[in-house]
Amino acid sequence: MQKILIANRGEIALRIVRACRELGIKTLAVYSEADVESLHVQLADEAICIGPAAGAQSYLRADRIISAAEIADVDAIHPGYGFLSENEDFADQCERCNIKFIGPKSSSIRLMGDKATAKDTVKKAGVPIVPGSDGPVETEAEALKTAKRIGYPVIIKAVAGGGGRGMRIAHNDVSFAKEFHVARGEAEKAFGDGRVYIERYIQNPRHIEFQILADSHGKVIHLGERDCSVQRRHQKLIEEAPSPFLTPDLRKKMGKAAVKAAEAAHYENAGTIEFLVDDAGNFYFIEMNTRIQVEHPVTEEVTGIDLVKQQILIASGEKLPWDQSDISIRRHAIECRINAEDPARNFAPSPGTIDLYYAPGGHGVRVDSHVYGGYTIPPYYDSMIAKLITFGETRRTAIERMHRALGEYIIRGIKTTIPLHRAIFTDPVFCQGKATTGYVQEFLARTPTDLF
């Protein structure tokens, strides 16, 4: 491979530029009018503007991105995460134009992108799923019958959902009838697809996901898990590896199930199998993400494997150089997502200009970010501006290092989630590894906002 188009922005675009540079591959950045000053545009070998600020008119315009790819004569497109990364039509168009899509085949995206079909597929492969409806439910009567059969509480989820949006919880028939219609309306508005399905709502679960690598020669391995239980409104805030909850035995079982799920999708490239795990250690598949994830660095830091480079090598047709038995988890890593939001004002977005910027460093610290002093965060995109990752021999070292690094981080001019992270990293519930998906809500309820 000689040249790759990066169909994304922000830190992930920069992450891909870095991997390409180390592999000796040229990069083409595409950017919106709002991202002229962006670091990925400045650091890529070439750059083409593809439209106005709004994502729908730039980073989501498959036609413009493919035209840019053709004009600049690239071999492949890396979609990053979000935007077109899980768009089967886009992957399909790349395939038809003989441009390699760095990700799975469009058929795998289609299969796993529809959450109901995905559950059905992995269930047939023997992977446990959350009890729920067989596919989407259409009418209120049918939905109500299904909810009663599953037993309350239930969660109503959009077939086309993503990013924690389009989910509603109901505890009885009356609230169910209301939430069913709200969920359908929201799904229609957010995803242009109003279909929903129903699952049992697992109480206080842990969100534990497995990183998969699969080459084009049929080999599938996993690189262990990430615990992503620290979430706010179903959106991840902190991720770590290994999970403080898993025993070696459960890790082995879940890893095997994750590989089976990926094999059932005839998967190729990097992907993630997400599970919910209850207190008793029962685990249930919830979905597969058919792309690189935001939280991939924690896996890189515990295994020593560069996932973005592996994505490119797999897309080039290379065989995975490891068997499952070669993979070992060598240390502990934790990631904090730093968002331009004001945690004291209900996480209101806080775009604007960064007057002063100083990123932490030192032993065991990694910062993946596209921002710098003087940079203006545009209001049009995701609010994540940096990922702070720390690692060490033990979980305790990683936590102490994170607290130290958060204390060094200076971002002036805007509000960020750094003070919230600092508070969490001294909280006994989190520090003892006891956080489940309800943790952040519970933490916020008992913590005065003037602490952050």
Q: Which residues are catalytic?
A: 291
Residue type, 30: V
Bridge partners for 353 per DSSP: 376
Give 321: exposed, middle or buried? Use CB within 10 Å, 0-12, 13-18, 19+: exposed
Q: How many residues does this entry show for the chain?
A: 452
- Shortest spacing between CB 429 and ligand ADP, in angstroms: 17
Which of 114, 287, 295, 342 is close enough to bind ligand ADP by CB under 6 A?
A: 287
- Shortest spacing between CB 166 and ligand ADP, in angstroms: 7
Interface with ligand ADP, residue 256, by CB under 6 A: no
Interface with ligand ADP, residue 347, by CB under 6 A: no
Give Cα separations from 385 to 12, 178, 370, 404 (angstroms). 10, 36, 7, 19
In this complex, which beta carbon is closest to ligand ADP, that of residue 181 or of residue 234? 234
- Taken in order 429, 431, 437, 439, the sign of the CA dihedral is positive
Interface with ligand ADP, residue 254, by CB under 6 A: no
In this complex, which beta carbon is closest to ligand ADP, that of residue 61 or of residue 207? 207
Strand pairing class (376-377; 269-277): unpaired
In this complex, which beta carbon is closest to ligand ADP, that of residue 143 or of residue 167? 167
Interface with ligand ADP, residue 227, by CB under 6 A: no
Strands (E), 340-413: 341-342, 348-349, 352-353, 356-358, 365-369, 376-377, 384-392, 410-412
Stretch that binds ligand ADP, among 96-104, 157-165, 290-298, 401-409 (CB under 6 A): 157-165
Interface with ligand ADP, residue 286, by CB under 6 A: yes
Which of 205, 242, 297, 360 is close enough to bind ligand ADP by CB under 6 A?
A: 205
- Taken in order 194, 200, 203, 205, the sign of the CA dihedral is negative
> By CB under 6 A, how many residues form the interface with ligand ADP?
21
Interface with ligand ADP, residue 1, by CB under 6 A: no
Which of 11, 114, 239, 274 is close enough to bind ligand ADP by CB under 6 A?
A: 274
- Shortest spacing between CB 244 and ligand ADP, in angstroms: 17
Give Cα separations from 270 to 313, 369, 447 (angstroms). 11, 21, 38
Give every CB contact of residue 194 below 8 A, 6+ residues apart in sequence: 184, 185, 187, 188
> Going residue by residue from 106 to 145, which x/- string records binding to ligand ADP, judged by CB under 6 A?
------------------------x---------------
Instruction: Give every strand in the sheet of 384-392, ordered side by side.
Output: 283-289, 269-277, 206-214, 220-232, 235-241, 332-339, 384-392, 365-369
Interface with ligand ADP, residue 199, by CB under 6 A: yes
The answer to whether 116 and 135 are in contact (CB under 8 A) is yes
The answer to whether 288 and 307 are in contact (CB under 8 A) is no
Which of 155, 312, 354, 377 is close enough to bind ligand ADP by CB under 6 A?
A: 155
- Shortest spacing between CB 191 and ligand ADP, in angstroms: 10
Whether the bond into 419 is cis, omega within 30 of 0 = no
- Shortest spacing between CB 442 and ligand ADP, in angstroms: 13
Q: Which residues bind ligand ADP (CB under 6 A)?
A: 130, 155, 161-165, 167, 199-202, 205, 207, 231, 234, 274, 276, 286-287, 437
